[in-house]
């Protein structure tokens, strides 16, 4: 096994499931009662902005009632104690990684507690409801929208992620179904560059065959075990 110094961790909705945040591809393929394409596409925002804004307002409000779990805290411990390079790339739009203490963190699919100007592209921290037509403080256009990367839009910080994947000795995927690209393809990029690959998930993901090792179970148990193993 190659010496491990540089680590890239990818997380998905499964890491927040034990905190009470619903995963996307739950029973019936619905996300909190909605089809993803009705609330998570530029077309949906254009067709029914009130619905899309209300949906993300509810998700943002829900954050006040949930707490980081043992998996978020274990990754924060790894972040604090790992001497090599580490990057936690999350697909999640909740703030549980940062509230758990993680610092070397990047939100590739946006953040609930942020607003994006559809006109000038400025992003700013946002608390509370975000009504359609809210004014952008940077350019004054009435064009603020939830800062969520919709299907068909480019995820954030892909250059940073690609660089970290190319330099990673270990790629670990936690709590993601492997259904959404480009994140679903990270394991193949990491392998191509020679990284060890490990999956921690409740069940085999769609890309499970690409991982050298898969451990199945709840993140709240598997992640603290893995971090302990790595640090000891
Ligand atoms: P999914 O809902 O597609 O997958 C969640 C995964 O977590 C599944 O494989 C579950 O088996 C697993 N899981 C559930 N509970 C778990 C637990 N307690 N411990 C460990 N694993 C558990 O969520 P994502 O893969 O994150 O995009 O979805 C990817 C993207 O699709 C999201 O970021 C979102 C969505 O459309 C955007 O919002 C742009």
Average model confidence (pLDDT) for the chain? 95
CB 91 within 8 Å of CB 40: no
Calculate what percentage of the chain has a pLDDT beyond 70.
97
Q: Compute the distance from residue 172 Cα to the ligand 1 centre, in Å.
A: 15
Residue 56 has pLDDT above 90, yes or no: yes
Residue 218 has pLDDT above 60, yes or no: yes
CB 149 within 8 Å of CB 155: yes
User: Which atom of ligand 1 is least distant from the CA of 183?
Assistant: 29
How does strand 123-125 pair with strand 110-117?
antiparallel
pTM (predicted TM-score): 0.96
State the pLDDT confidence band at 3, using cuts at 50, 70 and 90.
confident
Cα angle 24, 30, 31; round to 5: 45
**Annotated catalytic, 53?**
no
State the pLDDT confidence band at 33, using cuts at 50, 70 and 90.
confident
Residue 102 has pLDDT above 80, yes or no: yes
- Across residues 52-66, what is the average pLDDT? 96
Query: Hey, what are 177's tokens?
Result: 């179904």
Beta bridge partners of residue 173, listed in sequence order: 10, 199
State the pLDDT confidence band at 20, using cuts at 50, 70 and 90.
very high
Calculate what percentage of the chain has a pLDDT beyond 90.
91
Residue 32 CB less than 6 A away from ligand 1: no
CB 11 within 8 Å of CB 174: yes
User: Which atom of ligand 1 is least distant from the CA of 18?
Assistant: 18
């Amino acid at each position: 096994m190659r010496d491990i110094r540089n680590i890239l961790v990818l997380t998905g909705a499964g890491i927040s499931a034990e905190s009470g945040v619903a995963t996307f591809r739950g029973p019936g393929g619905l996300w909190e009662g909605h089809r993803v394409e009705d609330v998570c596409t530029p077309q949906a925002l254009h067709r029914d902005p009130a619905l899309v804004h209300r949906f993300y307002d509810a998700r943002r409000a829900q954050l006040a009632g949930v707490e980081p779990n043992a998996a978020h805290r274990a990754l924060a411990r790894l972040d604090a104690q790992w001497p090599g390079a580490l990057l936690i790339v999350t697909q999640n739009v909740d703030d549980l990684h940062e509230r758990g203490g993680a610092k070397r963190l990047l939100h590739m699919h946006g953040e609930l507690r942020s607003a994006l100007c559809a006109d000038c592209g400025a992003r700013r921290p946002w608390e509370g409801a975000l009504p359609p037509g809210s004014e952008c403080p940077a350019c004054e256009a009435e064009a603020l929208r939830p800062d969520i990367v919709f299907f068909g839009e480019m995820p954030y910080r892909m250059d940073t992620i690609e660089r970290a994947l190319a330099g990673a000795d270990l790629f670990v995927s936690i709590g993601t179904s492997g259904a959404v690209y480009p994140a679903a393809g990270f394991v193949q990029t990491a392998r191509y560059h020679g990284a060890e690959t490990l999956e921690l998930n409740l069940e085999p993901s769609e890309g499970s065959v690409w991982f050298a090792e898969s451990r199945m179970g709840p993140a709240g148990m598997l992640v603290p075990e893995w971090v302990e193993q790595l640090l000891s």
